[in-house]
Structure formats: structure tokens, C-alpha cells
Chain A
Amino acid sequence: MNIYQPQLVTVVDVIDETSDTRTLRLAFTDPALRDSFEFRAGQFGEYTAFGAGESTFCIASSPTRKGFIECSFKAVGKVTAALREMNVGDTIGFRGPYGNAFPIDDWKGKNVVFIAGGIGLAPVRCVIWNVLDRREEFGDVTIVYGARSVEDLVYKRELEEWAARDDVRIVTTVDPGGQTEDWTGKVGYVTPIVEATAPSAANAVAVLCGPPIVVKLTLPVLGKLGFADDAIYTTLENRMKCGVGKCGRCNIGPVYVCKDGPVFTAAQLKALPAEF
């Protein structure tokens, strides 16, 4: 079996996050692989809808939850539209895990600040659960999450679950105009809400993921709050095909996002040409 041939996975659950975003819970059809499969928070995979092709998503579930993996995607193209048609019991393909990971073990004893915009919560959610499942190893946990509208917020049940915990501080926001009458969260773009929330940079790391504009605007705000560039982590999801450093699509300067990334510190990003 060559490196481009996927493993088969069975859809074991389907969760509609929004009208166009769906989460698939997947289990390897090979029971041995189901037990032995391991990955680290931040790694990604190539997901196959047979006949439509492959798409690249992070693994959105936490490595602390065994026996399955999850991916969340918005149906915008051929492959994601086909994946969205999948029902429980259907078979799709998976290649991975690929790429590097968030260095969670280095964060022991530190406060962790999570910032996400839109579907950018998918890779961050993996890290959030990883940290929450090892809660005692970390300090304060703060989550700032925003989307265009209330409808566009993903993982709504988990947002409520995190809000109900007394060991998590969570701030949710929607863009102006995106609120509903019963919306109790903030109204405003992610970046100013982060500034207003003002998480302490002392003994802290920040994990940031969202549309390029959110990342671009929020980085200087985190700097202003005192976060050093090497204490800010993000994950880039450039267009990829092979995922294994061959197809030449995801380069940013000398960096192959699929192999050298997708997780980068702000310090690493600043050393790259501004082409992402």
C-alpha cells in the first residue's frame, strides 16, 4: 500500500454544527488500527469521499478520547459536499495523522488562553479537550470564541458545557448584526473582544486559530497584552493535496506547512514571507 492510499473509516456519528457545517465521528474499520491509532493535538488528516476526492482537515477530537476521531467541515466544495452526504455506517477514507502538534507537555503549570474564530474552533477544540481532560496539569483556562452569527457558532453543546464548568472562563461573541434576541454573549469582532477580555500574559500561552484576517489582527493585540511571540501558537491550514511534503502546494517560503507545520508560533510566522 503506497503512502497515498487511505485507511478505511466508518462513520459512527453525524452532528450538524450549523446549516452548512458538520462533524463526522469516525472509527477505523480495522479493529487493530482502531486500538493502536495515536495522534497528537494539532495534527491533521486527508479525508476521502470515494469518487469525489480528498480534503484536508485537522483532527478535531482530542487524543485523550480513544477509539474514534472526528473532523468538522463546512460544505463548500465537491469533497465536502460529498462528505456531508455521509450517514452513519458509511465508509470514507483517512490518511494521517500528519504534521506537527501543539507542544502541550511544555505548557504544564501554565495558564492557557484559547482564541478562535468561526470554523477555526475545530483545531482549537482538539487542544481544549486535551487540556481539560488533563485539567490538573494546567493553570487557568480561558476561551474566547466568535463567529459571524449565532447560527455560525460551532460545537454549541460544548460551548454550553464549557460555560457550565467553574474551571473554565469562556467568552463567546458574534459579529455585529449576527446576534439573535435571546443571545446572551458578546456582540463584536473577535479581536476587540480579546482586547476587552484582556487575559493575563503572565505564565500563559495563547492558542489562536481563525480566518487569516482574525489571526492577522489579533496577533498585535496579544502582543500588546504582553504575550511573547513564542508563547502564541496558531495552526495554518494551507491548501494541501498530499499532506506528506511532496505535492508542493502548501509552501510558505522554505516551510512546508504539512510537515513543518501546521502548528507555528507567532515568532515562526513572523520569520516567514507574508504569503499565507
Chain B
Amino acid sequence: MTDQTDTRPDREGGDRCFIREADLRELTAELLAAGTEVIAPVAVDVCASPSAIASAACRMPGAAPIEIEYRALEDASDLDVSRGMPVLSLKSYFLPEHEALFCWRQHGTQIEMKQVATTFPPRVILGAKPCDSAALAIVDKVMNWDYEDELWNGRREATTIINMACPGIDESCFCTAVDLAPDSTKGADGLLTPVDGGYIFEATTDKGRAFASEHKSHFCAGSGGEEHRGRQADDERAAARARVAGNLEIDAQSVRDWIDTHFDDPLLAALGARCNGCGACTSVCPTCHCFDIIDEEEGVGKGTRRRCWDTCQAGKFTLHASGHNPRENQGARYRQRLNHKFAIYPLKFGEVLCTGCGRCTRVCHAGQDLVEILAAIDVAARRPGAPAETVEAVSDTASADTAEATP
């Protein structure tokens, strides 16, 4: 398991060194030549997509013709180091959209089961977003309390993750409000920070140090000017932190306490009023890990049990066989998502189940904006005696026409 204690690299640490842009490509080529899977951000030309829906979307006004995705590289030249935000997080590389849990075959009244592998070949993720590696360390907790999820753990152990310091993407980012940073190495084994001509590299775990030492000819060849570049990296990272911090400043503990103690507060119900329950937020979320378990028959008398992503935003998620549904409206389901992320998970596992990546806000068709929503809760939490108008003023766009916030 990745060492999770080291969340921010030591700025004066001895593990820092310079890696040239060309060396990063050569390292990637070497890994690929050795048969190691390398997953990295890749710029995808959406307009050239064979998907009719994607290429149609590309022609919409304002559509981005290029999307960034984490993909297994076919060629080192595909590595995209532009530092944009991949549409989907790294989640699917550890908890695939669907995966086999075992296979079965029937022989008369007897059943034969075939196990699936829980160990995986080594692989490297280069240029991970800090908010995406952090999500893995956070989800490690639920995957390992009491019962251990060998499929998750097997993939975690097989993977070396090198983050790329993030410049801050847009106004939806808020990693700094959930105890992370655009240069966090939580859940990762090392960090690259862009500087003139290449990157400053820091290994932050034994796995990261072993990786660097194994590929020493590319890492840290040494070319002078390290001190200058180190300062450049520090400046770059400090600027990114300040940029993201400007998006949202909340008292995380008060927000957590407020959600935990205001289950029936009208503000929470109002915040969910605009949600239409499509579940896109849970799909793009790096920390949402809820799943379904289903059987897939493959002809007569054999099949595969699979687990697949599920969403707490769907009405049937909690529907009992009797017809009773503990969360029978969308307000209750949206409240559950906030509750699980900002109150339940911290209570249970000591961590907020959110990395502030902003994907849920960017993807939401209904305009649910988690930055606005957390700001509204923060106001309610900080000023328990505040008049309703104050809360509404902050949350008016989020809670639309149903806000009756009376904290």
C-alpha cells in the first residue's frame, strides 16, 4: 500500500532533482518497451471520435474540441503534459466501471466457480492530478476496514503513481478547502513540478524512490541550476495554491459538524431541489465508490458475477423489496451525497470523501455547484443566528426558488 503519511513533499528535501522534458518521454518509452503499462493524461480529439454522440457534441457552440483523458499510452509521444483536467478521474483504473468477481458454470445441480486474479502486473501512472491520487488514499479506508477488498488492494499495490503539480484548473476547483493542495502527493509516490526545460521531481514514498532509482539514467541526471529551478517550482506551487484557495474558503470542521447535526434543516433540502438525479456527479467523482453486484449470464448454465458502479442519486439505490424506500425523493438523495462525503465518511474514517476536483460541478446539467453549496453551508455553520436572507444571498443560485433557510 502506498505510504499515505507524506502529503506534501519536503521543499528542502534531498529527494528533489531535475528531470528534462526529453527524459520524461524517454522514461515513458523505456517503460513501454519493457512492457509496463503506463497510464497518463492524453489529449483526445473529440471531433475525430468514432462516437456519433461525441462528434456531434463537438460541433455544439462552445464545445471543447480536445478532451483530456487518462489512458494507457500506446506511444510515449501521446503523453500530454499540458496539465489540463482529465474528464474522468483515475477511479476506473482501481474500481473499474464493471469487473468480474468470479465466473460460474453449472453442471446439473452442481456449480463450479472460477476465481479471478487479485494480483496485477506492475504499472505506472505518470502525471496524475493530485486530487485524483488523493482520492485513492481516501477510498483505501473503506476498502480495508475489517474486510479487505483484494481487487482494489491488488491494483493499488501494483501501481506506482507520479503526480504532476496542478496549476489550478478553474473556479470549480477547491482542493485547498478539503485539506489538500494542487501539489499534494497524498496517495502518490512522487511529484513532478514543471520548470524551465523540464520538471523538478520528488519521490515521496519508498515505492517512488525505488522507481526513481530503477530509472536513474532518466531521473535526476543532474544538469546544474537545481537551486534556481527548485525556487521556480516552489513559486509555481505557491501560486497555484493561492489561486485555488481563492475559490472557496470554508471552516471544514464547522461544515462537517453542521451537516452532521442539521439532517432535517430546510437548507439541506433546498440545496438538492435542483438535482435531477442523473448520477453524472457520482460517475465522474474520484471518491464515489458505491457499487452494485449483478450476475451476467453468458449463454445457458454459465456466467460471471460482476460489480459495477452505482449511484446513490438513483431512486432504486435504496428501494426495499417491500416497496419501502428510505430515501424516497431527490432531496433526500442529494442530502445523502453531501452527508456521506462531508459528515459520515469523516466520522467513520477520519477523512472528507471529496478532493475538491470540481468535476461534479463541471458535469452537472442542472447547475449544482458544490463550491456554492459548501459556501452556503459554511455561512449557515458560522452564523447560526444569521437571518435567513443572509443564507439565501449566498445560496440563492444553488437553492433557486425553494430556499427557506432558517438555520
Contact = CB atoms under 8 A, between A and B. Distances in A.
Nearest to A3: B147
B149 interface: yes
A254 B348 contact: yes
Which 4 A-B pairs rank lowest in CB-CB distance, beginning with the nearest? A248-B290, A244-B147, A273-B263, A4-B101
Nearest to A237: B320
Interface string B110-134: 1101011010000000000000000
Contact of B289 (A90, A248, A253, A259): A248
Interface stretch (B138-146, B354-362, B395-403): B138-146
Given A51-B297, A253-B263, A5 B320 contact: no
B146 A253 contact: no
26 contacts: A2-B118, A3-B148, A8-B111, A50-B104, A50-B111, A50-B303, A76-B321, A80-B321, A211-B324, A237-B320, A241-B291, A241-B293, A244-B147, A246-B147, A247-B310, A248-B142, A249-B290, A253-B263, A253-B343, A254-B260, A254-B343, A254-B344, A259-B145, A274-B263, A275-B332, A275-B336
Given A238-B326, A245-B146, A91 B109 contact: yes
Nearest to B316: A239
A251 interface: yes
B293 A4 contact: yes
A8 B111 CA distance: 8
B223 interface: no
Given A246-B149, A246-B289, A275 B327 contact: yes
A247 B324 CA distance: 20
Contact of B336 (A50, A238, A239, A251): A251
Contacts of B196: none
A110 interface: no
B307 A4 contact: yes
Contacts of B332: 275
Contact of B320 (A4, A238, A248): A238
Given A239-B320, A254-B344, A247 B291 contact: yes
Nearest to A55: B321
Given A50-B295, A275-B332, A244 B146 contact: yes
A93 interface: yes
Contact of A5 (B115, B310, B318): B115
A183 interface: no
Nearest to A11: B109
Contacts of A249: 290, 310, 312, 317-318
B256 to A, nearest CB: 11
B295 A52 contact: yes
Nearest to A51: B297
The interface size bin for chain B is 35 or more
B347 interface: yes
Contacts, number: 132
B150 interface: yes
A103 interface: no
Contact of B321 (A77, A212, A245): A77
Contacts of B151: 2
Contact of B102 (A4, A76, A245): A4
Nearest to B152: A246
Contacts of A178: none
A246 B344 contact: no
Interface of B: 101-102, 104, 106, 109-111, 113, 115-116, 118, 142-143, 145-151, 260, 263-264, 289-295, 297, 303, 305, 307, 310, 312, 317-322, 324, 326-327, 332, 336, 339-340, 343-344, 347-348
A51 B118 contact: no
Nearest to A90: B109
Given A50-B106, A247-B293, A249-B318, A2 B115 contact: yes
Nearest to A2: B150
B307 A91 contact: no
A51 B318 contact: no
Contact of B319 (A237, A239, A253): A239
B113 A5 contact: yes
A53 interface: yes
Given A3-B148, A246-B143, A241 B292 contact: yes
A50 B260 CA distance: 40
A241 B293 CA distance: 6
Given A238-B326, A248-B291, A249-B310, 19 more contacts: A1-B102, A2-B115, A4-B101, A6-B113, A8-B111, A50-B106, A76-B321, A93-B111, A211-B322, A238-B318, A238-B320, A241-B310, A248-B290, A249-B318, A251-B336, A254-B347, A254-B348, A256-B348, A275-B336
A242 B145 CA distance: 13
B48 to A, nearest CB: 37
Given A2-B151, A3-B147, A4-B305, A91 B110 contact: yes
Interface in A228-273: 237-239, 241-242, 244-249, 251-254, 256, 259, 273
A185 interface: no
A89 B321 contact: no
A100 to B, nearest CB: 12
Given A246-B291, A247-B291, A89 B109 contact: yes
Contacts of A259: 145-146
A270 B59 CA distance: 55
Nearest to A76: B321
Nearest to B301: A51
